Amino acid sequence: CILTAKKTLLTTDIENPIVEYTPLCLEIGRVAAGFLSKVDEWGVTVTFYNNVHGRVPARRLAAELGVEDPRMNYNIGDAVAARLLDCFKRRHKEENGGYYYQLELSLKTVLDTAEKSVEAQETVNSSSVGEKDLSAVPLAAGSILMSKRMKVLQLVNSLRRSDGTFLPGYAVVSIKSKFLTGVTSNSDSVECKLSFDQLMDSYGDELSCPPVELDSVAQKELKVGKRIDKEGLILSVPNGGEPIISLRSSLIDTIRNEASSSDDFSIVCPSPSSNLFMGAYVRGYVARKDERFGSFVRFLNGLTGLIPKLKKGLDESLYETILCKVTALDITSSPPKILLKKVSESDISKKKRKIESRNKGSVSQRQIQVGDLIGDVKVTDINFARAKVQLIDKAFFGANIRARIHVTMAEPIAAKPKLSKQEKKAKDEHKIGKSHPFYSWKAGDVIKGVRCVAVDTRDGVSFVELANRSEKSDLVSSSPIVVSDPSQLPPGSLVHSIVTSVSASSPHFGVWVQVCPGISGFVPALELSSDPDILNDIESNYKVGTRLSCCVMEKSNPEKTPLRHQLQRDDHDNNTKEHNALELSVLLAEEQSNAKQAGFKPTKPQRGDVVVGRINKKMRVLGPPALMLNLRGTFTGRCCITELNDMDDWANMPLGKDPSNDSKSGSNEVQRVVSDSEADLSNNENDDDDEESRDEDKAKSEIREEYPDGKFIKCRVLGSARAKGAVELSLRDSRLEGDLEEDCVPEPNDMTHAYVISTTKKGCFVRISRYVEGRVILKELSDDFIPNPTVMFPPGRLVVGKVKRVTKHDGKQKGNRGLAATVDIDMRESVLLSSGNRITLDDIQENSKYTGVVTRIESYGVFVRIENSDVSGLAHVSECSDSYVKNIFDLYNPGDLVKVMVIKFDKEEKRLGFSLKASNFVDDDDSDDASLSDEASSSEEDSDEEEEEVKDALDERSDGEGDSDSDDENFVAKMAAKMEQAGDVHSDNDSESSDDSSADSDDDSESDEKSLEQRPEESLPQAMDANVGFDWGSTIKPTKITKLAESSDDESTDSSSDSSGDESEDEDAGFKSSHK
């Protein structure tokens, strides 16, 4: 144990000492005795019994006790009384780290007498001085703080980095929350930063480069724990950071005098939200000097201007308060870019006196009022936004008037003279096109019959806004032509506007317009026109300068409203305030006469409406695979993949492939080693296939480009979607023509097309129509083994299957997701191409013999599926051959056609045991072989008849439809090819059976070795892409079917000519035993 002999600890808290981190011991506000176990410049650590300890930061010591440096006032081992403020439970930063407790302490146990006197003095001052002077100020840039309201807590020295960057030091000051408004925290005080470069207006010649003397200046001016006896200014309030304070008296006086002065010669300290104009006088301080550009002058909230190097910007002193004039202004950026020129207050006074004397000597001018007919004016200068004009009437000679015609107030001149090359070049520089009202105007033209629409008089100068538009051109005569605030244009107001730019960036896709001087608006593309062809080429149909008649809409979501579009302004617009853009609509202006809704905004589309939507592939897809679209009025639309085209025009992967699926399929490809001979053979065989593959790739790229992001298309509304605010749409031609009838629910044994929704390890989910979905279990996806179902069946793949079972829903059943029916589908080719009744388990009898296909091979046996059925069984390794089987994998391959005899049938467990021994088939009667031969011949005859029927069907479709790529044609062609292949297999099996029955065991083993060596490597399972199996996107031509029939006839002739040909065919087919 560790003992203590400190008398303070022996006489304090004996009955209830702090020994653990429990609520019983750690009562908030409790005062307990402890000793200092650590003292540094950042604070002290107080330890109680059983190593329970807490921390008192240096800032709290300075704020509460006026301690400048804890190391000078405290030593390790000192016994102190500490008050508990709070206790936090925190987790260690290391992985799997435990928890620890952190105590916040204070060494101020009672209220100090000096503190009481200061508060009392403040109370007396507040009662003697007016309440307005001592009222709390907002916590915002530009607020002035009274003296002795800032207390220094800590001084942080300047920092000079290795790259030469110098960061001035700062002082942490505390301001009580009762002196501020808008404080979001619940603390009693607000900590702020007072940078060392904000202590005075000018540092003179005391600073070097870099100004390392700032630390010594700060130590003279500031004392930790003491209050600052100067007025302060909140310079900026960063988001999430501490407010910045300044003690510059010139800035404080400028802001104090700014409210009382409103003429053009008033000096301001601007912020990013201030309305600056050319010629304004501003006061700031030099924050940085750059040898490449000049001096950067900082104002409120980080607003910065530049005194260029060519204008002697490098002659200014660092951190000096400076008075400047705005010489250039770019308000298209945020914050605006400002060029400055240093001036003095004497220069301002001289200019002010000069203007006053000129006004006194000028002739008395006629008072101009809004609505007065001014008469004729002469154009002196033109740019995109305005035309400066001169009043010709003699009544205005000698008057100090500046007049202009804004682009929104102008109409083209009736006569359009031909422009010279120089004049056309000048128009192009100002982006004045043929649709612009000023295109036919030029300097020197006389505009007749202009009228005054706005007047603003400042410092003896009258700024007059004119218009040559007649009152008949206004949509609503009562609506004001010129407004100073968008609130003066309520929803439903009809206004004229001029297109200033076309925005193609999402989500603000549309046109920016100018409604009147200083007021801009935005027209979304969906509110411009109901013709998708016009919207897809919006730049050509809505050129800059085009006049539009619009209706002001209600703002549905102010947070997503686009900001005001910045335009070129001059001295006429110096009173314009920042505001959000008006939301306008051209379609509502056309429909307003017949509008029935109370508000002026697009309503939700109803079933049967034809609307225009914009494809948005960045939006979260509802019920994929589907196409999401933006509609008018911030509504969204969903087009199911089954509604993209009519069923006869369905295509594979209409929405394109998912790149993630392509990467997965690429990683699962099996690499093969190919010999030189095989490579030469494959090159000769694939010469014709390359051109076909290129055609297929081109067709797929065209399909993917059919629905690009941002394309406008016409849709038919089918109803409301399950998601709030969304509607169901259709792009089918039949729907657009008026057919709103839902697709029929398929019946059992129907052949149906569907799109893949998703694929898992258990199977595949497909969508037949909007209200009909289906599922396919894994074993019914394909007759062959599928190494990666998710790659073979990606979402959006077009598949075909036979309906097994249909489950209809009444719409009220829970969990059906609004579906009308769900179906079970079988997609295996053997099921699709089979005719007649299939063999079931009830038809199986012991000792019966069947023909089957090897599906899987294991070390303990072979799994075989009986042909034309779903019945499978196991042939144990002992029943696979009459002789000893050393390696069963050398004897059989998946896909081998074999004969099986049922030797065991467990009806309860529904298990079948097969035998593949050749001895079970040697004693068969000739009738059996004959029957098999008859079956083969009959099936061949049937296939020939069906082949001719298929050819006739293909000829009829080709005569009626030409070169059609429909799914039915592909399906018929595929069936014809499969039927002919099935006939070849039967004929080969008959010849093989006769040959194998006469061969001895030596020939069998030799045949096995040859077939094993010559096994084609294409039989190995490889990763498959999304176009394997039935390729519904391509067409099998009838000429290929004829060649296939001819080749099958040749093969049968060759097989009957000599036995050597039969052996080679057996080896190529991969047969391993004599009874196959």
Region of 747 (left: φ > 0; alpha: ψ -120 to 50; beta: rest) is beta
**pLDDT above 70 coverage of the chain, percent:** 70
Greater confidence, 622 or 1054? Answer: 622
Q: Which residue has the tokens 């052996």?
A: 1063
pLDDT at 179 over 80: yes
pLDDT of residue 461: 77
Q: Hey, how many other C-beta atoms are within 10 angstroms of the C-beta on 315?
A: 12
* Confidence category of residue 978, pLDDT binned at 50, 70, 90: low
Q: What is the mean pLDDT of residues 987-997?
A: 40
Residue 211 gets which letter from DSSP? Answer: -
Q: What's the CA gap between 972 and 62, in Å, rounded?
A: 91
pLDDT of residue 688: 53
pLDDT of residue 459: 64
pLDDT at 377 over 70: yes
pLDDT of residue 1012: 35
Q: What's the CA gap between 1020 and 1023, in Å, rounded?
A: 10
Taking only the tens place, the pLDDT of each residue in 390-400 is: 888 877 776 77
* Confidence category of residue 1068, pLDDT binned at 50, 70, 90: very low
Residue 577 gets which letter from DSSP? Answer: P
pLDDT at 1072 over 60: no
Q: What is the mean pLDDT of residues 64-72?
A: 82
Which range, of 173-187, 237-251, 386-400, 479-493, averages the lowest pLDDT?
A: 479-493
Greater confidence, 945 or 450? Answer: 450
Residue positions counted in the chain: 1076
In the predicted model, what is the mean pLDDT of the chain? 75
Q: What is the mean pLDDT of residues 677-689?
A: 46
pLDDT of residue 639: 94
pLDDT of residue 282: 93
User: Whose CA is closest to 786, among 830, 828, 838?
Assistant: 828
pLDDT at 532 over 60: yes
Q: Residue 803 pairs with which residues in a beta bridge?
A: 825
Tokens for 444, please give them.
Answer: 């020197």
pLDDT at 605 over 60: yes
Q: What's the CA gap between 493 and 495, in Å, rounded?
A: 6
Taking only the tens place, the pLDDT of each residue in 639-649 is: 999 999 999 99
CA angle 8, 10, 16 (to 5 degrees): 105
pLDDT of residue 565: 46
pLDDT at 659 over 80: no
pLDDT of residue 401: 85
pLDDT of residue 41: 85
Taking only the tens place, the pLDDT of each residue in 198-212 is: 999 988 776 777 777
H or E element: which one contains 242? none
Q: What's the CA gap between 133 and 123, in Å, rounded?
A: 13
pLDDT of residue 432: 82
pLDDT at 351 over 50: yes
To the nearest 10°, the Cα dihedral for 571, 572, 574, 579? -140
DSSP string, 395-415: GGTT--EEEEEEGGG----S-
Taking only the tens place, the pLDDT of each residue in 892-919 is: 998 888 999 999 998 888 899 999 998 8
Q: What's the CA gap between 297 and 340, in Å, rounded?
A: 9
pLDDT of residue 695: 56
pLDDT of residue 812: 52
pLDDT of residue 643: 93
Greater confidence, 97 or 609? Answer: 609
pLDDT at 769 over 90: yes
Q: Residue 379 pairs with which residues in a beta bridge?
A: 389
Which range, of 296-310, 365-379, 759-773, 774-788, averages the lowest pLDDT?
A: 365-379
pLDDT at 927 over 90: no
Q: What is the mean pLDDT of residues 923-937?
A: 47
Which range, of 153-162, 520-529, 602-611, averages the lowest pLDDT?
A: 153-162
pLDDT at 861 over 90: yes
Taking only the tens place, the pLDDT of each residue in 44-59 is: 999 988 889 999 998 8
For residue 223, give the amino acid letter.
Answer: K
pLDDT at 80 over 60: yes
pLDDT of residue 482: 81
pLDDT at 273 over 60: yes
On the CB side of 334, CA atoms within 13 Å amount to: 7
